[in-house]
Chains A and B, each alone.
Chain A
Amino acid sequence: MADLVTMASPEGEVKEVEATAETLTPLLVAGWTQAPAPAVPAQEEK
């Protein structure tokens, strides 16, 4: 399975997609750019 990357649209929408040329190309052409991966929330102590 391909790695996942976080992408952001020009309007600010953020989503994770497969990091393949087939998936990324239409997004990049539509103005999406790579965004930092969302921070993983720290686990609460029990």
Chain B
Amino acid sequence: MSNISELMQGWGFGKQAAIGTANTVAAIWRHTNLNTKPWAKVPVNEDDRAEIGKGHEFPTQLFKSHYNMPTFEISKYASSEFLAWAMSFALGNVVVSGAGPYEYVIVPALGATNPTGLELPYFSFVQQIRPGGSAVLDEMLVGCAVKGWKLSIKNSPGRASATCAVECVTTGQYTSPSGITLPAASTPHEFNAGMITALTFNGINYLSGGSAKQFLSMEASWENNFRPGFFPGSGTQDGYQIQGRFEWGDRAFAVQFVVRVQAGSAEYASLINLTTGTATFTMTRDANNSFTMLIQKMGFNVVELANTDGIVTLQITGVQLYDPTNGLVTMSITTPLQGICQ
């Protein structure tokens, strides 16, 4: 037996060459995780209860069906490295430049021009408890993809004020033992809400000027809505069918934020007048670590008067419009780590 705190997790910061080709150790990093659960493997069996001709209605035989792998959350305090990884694997179209620190510019991939069609980059996920001759757990899940992420900014102190939770899926293919010696745990360059250096939504600057003390919190999220990946020839593991691809469906980009109401709050007017504009959110730790989310065209869908911990607030749901020239959103990240999603 072992305590869950012994669980070590590592995953590919580089992308796999193909969905069934695992990352090598050189492209795997090790990180802590705020999610305290391991990634469960769920093989599913079926039986013959629905088949007639047995003389009764009861099942008589078991059959191997498929790996029904649950989604898994990697939840971390926001850092330049982790945000670069999450955005790259979730959005898919990545340009990297520089010689350290490295600049990553990331936009959502387009099916028409993406080299892998509707598929995003894949990575491997390693989880271990006491790896070695008598490991409690030592396996590598191959062919993982980022289903979505949620970036949360809160009106609170410390690292918990800026977090990012990434929801992952995997095919069912795995190797055990993993054959991977995980490196030492990374020390990411983390952000907190005090490091926000740009916060302008739809023409309203929440860092300076008349609206400087209004902003309370924000949640931005991305969802790839993957289609099921079982198909003829998708593959097997231990005799169970596995998924052979994750293709994005109707992707969704949501942004909600909460601001305090004051005399002359401009949000209602923006909603009623159908005003649209860019939205810029930047966190800057230092010259080597920054994150910018530039939403190219944001309007307000809902502006709802509310009560947040006794303060009168507006809960605002943005609608992110696709601009024909600049697209939906651009993530720009500066980080010391090379090779993310490469």
Contact = CB atoms under 8 A, between A and B. Distances in A.
Interface of A: 2-5, 7, 10, 19-21, 24-26, 28-29, 31-34
B51 to A, nearest CB: 51
B198 to A, nearest CB: 13
Interface stretch (B52-60, B215-223, B323-331): B323-331
A5 B110 contact: no
Contacts of A7: 95
Contacts of A19: 95, 97-98, 103, 105
Contacts of A4: 97
A29 B326 contact: yes
Interface residues of B, number: 23
Given A3-B97, A29-B110, A34-B94, 16 more contacts: A5-B95, A5-B96, A5-B97, A21-B292, A24-B95, A25-B326, A25-B327, A26-B326, A28-B93, A28-B95, A29-B107, A29-B326, A32-B113, A33-B113, A33-B115, A34-B95
Nearest to B332: A21
B294 interface: yes
A3 B103 contact: yes
A29 B115 contact: no
A28 B93 CA distance: 8
A21 B98 contact: no
B112 interface: yes
A34 B113 CA distance: 12
Contacts of B96: 5, 34
B105 A24 contact: yes
Contacts of B296: 25
A25 B330 CA distance: 7
Given A19-B95, A34-B94, A26 B325 contact: yes
The B interface, classified by DSSP as helix, strand, loop or mixed, is: strand
B37 to A, nearest CB: 36
Interface in B89-127: 93-99, 103, 105, 107, 110, 112-113, 115
Given A21-B292, A25-B107, A25-B327, A10 B113 contact: yes
B115 A21 contact: no
Interface in B109-157: 110, 112-113, 115
Contacts of A2: 97
B112 A31 contact: yes
A5 B110 CA distance: 20
Interface core residue of A3, A7, A20, A24 (most chain B CB under 10 Å): A24
A32 B114 CA distance: 9
Given A21-B332, A33-B93, A33-B115, A28 B327 contact: yes
Contacts of A33: 93, 113, 115
A26 B110 CA distance: 13
Nearest to A32: B113
Q: Which 4 residue pairs of A and B lie closest in terms of their CB atoms, listed nearest first?
A: A19-B97, A31-B113, A29-B327, A3-B97
Interface core residue of A2, A24, A28, A31 (most chain B CB under 10 Å): A28
B110 A31 contact: yes
27 contacts: A2-B97, A3-B98, A3-B99, A3-B103, A5-B95, A5-B96, A7-B95, A19-B98, A19-B103, A20-B105, A21-B105, A21-B330, A21-B332, A24-B95, A24-B105, A24-B330, A25-B107, A25-B294, A25-B327, A28-B105, A28-B327, A29-B326, A29-B327, A32-B113, A33-B115, A34-B94, A34-B96
